[in-house]
């Protein structure tokens, strides 16, 4: 298995960051076609100190924005350096989360960033909402990351539909890894045996796909499930987490805390999510 087409979100402004470098690296590894995508939604009128400010754009303004997005596309093509036919550019002037989710029909894998200060819905897809909408595996890249070897991968297993989907979606990564650690965070001693049985089943599934370097870990909760998982990731020097996204409702995760929410906020390594 492989990812025939990878799509990466490109920021409207600033340098072409590590997210683009990682996407280019993956396109080379998987011999993929690479699509850069960017969107820039005009802002509606808003009130400031009792005064309504209408930033309505003229035709000239819209044309200037279109030209700027085209310039970003040219910079993207130059930066990734792929031959004609293996690189494409898409852009629009609408909400990025909605636009990218729709255009993701063309991709096997979507790469986005999770820089918290950049969560402006007019220029950046908000990761939590995007995961629920896109219908594709999403690689969320943390701030500062510039490469992804994928040699040591931790699979955060929980016996849910989302986890099963994530394992299948991650097969191209898992098949190239030096070690895959199947980890289930166990909340009590009574669940250790069932956890081990579940992990054995997933290991057998991976073996059928030619993935042999698998270690099974039942990890006790220390603090929170996310903290326990991230401690394991650090101890194992892993650089990729594979996880199902929002096995519970997103609202419940944001109010009460949950694995997906915590990983989007705290993970120091890339996360491959599926929902």
pLDDT digits (tens, 9 = 90+) for 94-140: 999 999 999 999 999 999 998 766 578 889 999 999 999 999 999 99
List of residues 6+ apart from 256 with CB closer than 8 A: none
Query: Which of these, 122, 127, 134, 33, lies nearest to 84 by C-alpha position?
Result: 33
Query: Average of pLDDT values for 53-72?
Result: 82
Decide if pLDDT at 53 tops 90: no
Decide if pLDDT at 253 tops 70: no
Higher pLDDT, 120 or 81: 81
Q: What is the C-alpha to C-alpha distance for residues 250 and 269, in angstroms, rounded to an integer?
A: 22
Q: What is the 8-class DSSP label of residue 41? A: P
pLDDT tens digits, 1-52: 789 999 999 999 888 889 999 999 999 999 999 999 999 888 765 556 665 4
Cα 214 to Cα 23, 127, 192, 200, 260, distances in angstroms: 26, 29, 18, 10, 23
Query: Average of pLDDT values for 211-239?
Result: 91
List of residues 6+ apart from 16 with CB closer than 8 A: 10, 75, 76, 79
CATH number at 5-141: 3.40.50.620
Q: Are 241 and 229 in contact (CB under 8 A)?
A: yes
Query: Which of these, 108, 144, 127, 112, lies nearest to 37 by C-alpha position?
Result: 112
Percent of the chain with pLDDT over 90: 69
Cα 114 to Cα 142, 211, 254, 257, distances in angstroms: 6, 30, 16, 18
What pLDDT score was predicted for residue 20?
97
Q: What is the C-alpha to C-alpha distance for residues 141 and 64, in angstroms, rounded to an integer?
A: 30
Q: Cα torsion for 183, 188, 190, 195, to the nearest 10°? A: -10
pLDDT tens digits, 206-216: 999 999 989 99
What pLDDT score was predicted for residue 228?
92
Domain ranges within the chain, ordered by starting residue: 5-141, 152-274
Record the pTM. Answer: 0.91
Q: What is the C-alpha to C-alpha distance for residues 129 and 96, in angstroms, rounded to an integer?
A: 11
Q: Say which CATH superfamily domain 152-274 falls into.
A: HUPs (3.40.50.620)
Decide if pLDDT at 90 tops 80: yes
Other Cβ atoms closer than 10 A to 113: 25
Q: Which tokens sit at 20?
A: 């683009």
CA 40-45-51 angle, 5° bins: 140
Q: What is the 8-class DSSP label of residue 42? A: P
């Amino acid at each position: 298995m492989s990812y025939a087409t990878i799509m990466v979100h490109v920021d409207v402004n600033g340098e072409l960051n590590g997210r683009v470098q990682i996407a280019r690296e993956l396109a080379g590894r998987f011999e993929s076609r690479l699509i850069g995508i960017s969107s820039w939604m005009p802002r509606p009128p808003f009130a400031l100190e009792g005064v309504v400010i209408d930033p309505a754009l003229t035709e000239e303004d819209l044309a200037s924005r279109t030209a700027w997005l085209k310039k970003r596309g040219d910079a993207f093509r130059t930066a990734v350096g792929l031959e004609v036919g293996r690189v494409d550019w898409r852009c629009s002037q609408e909400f990025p989360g909605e636009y990218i989710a729709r255009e993701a029909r063309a991709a096997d894998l979507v790469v986005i960033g999770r820089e918290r200060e950049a969560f402006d819905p007019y220029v950046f897809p908000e990761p939590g909402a995007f995961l629920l909408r896109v219908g594709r595996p999403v690689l969320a890249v943390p701030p500062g990351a510039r490469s992804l070897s994928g040699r040591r991968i931790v699979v955060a297993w929980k016996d849910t539909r989302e986890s099963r989907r994530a394992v299948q979606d991650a097969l191209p990564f898992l098949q190239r890894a030096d070690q895959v650690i199947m980890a289930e965070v166990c909340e009590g001693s009574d669940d250790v045996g069932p956890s081990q049985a579940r992990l054995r089943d997933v290991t057998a599934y991976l073996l059928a796909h030619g993935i042999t370097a698998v270690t099974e870990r039942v990890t006790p909760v220390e603090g929170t499930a996310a903290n326990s998982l991230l401690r394991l990731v650090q101890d194992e020097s892993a650089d990729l987490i594979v996880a199902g996204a929002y096995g519970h409702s997103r609202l419940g995760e944001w109010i009460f805390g949950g694995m997906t929410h915590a990983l989007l906020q705290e993970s120091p390594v890339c996360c491959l999510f599926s929902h």
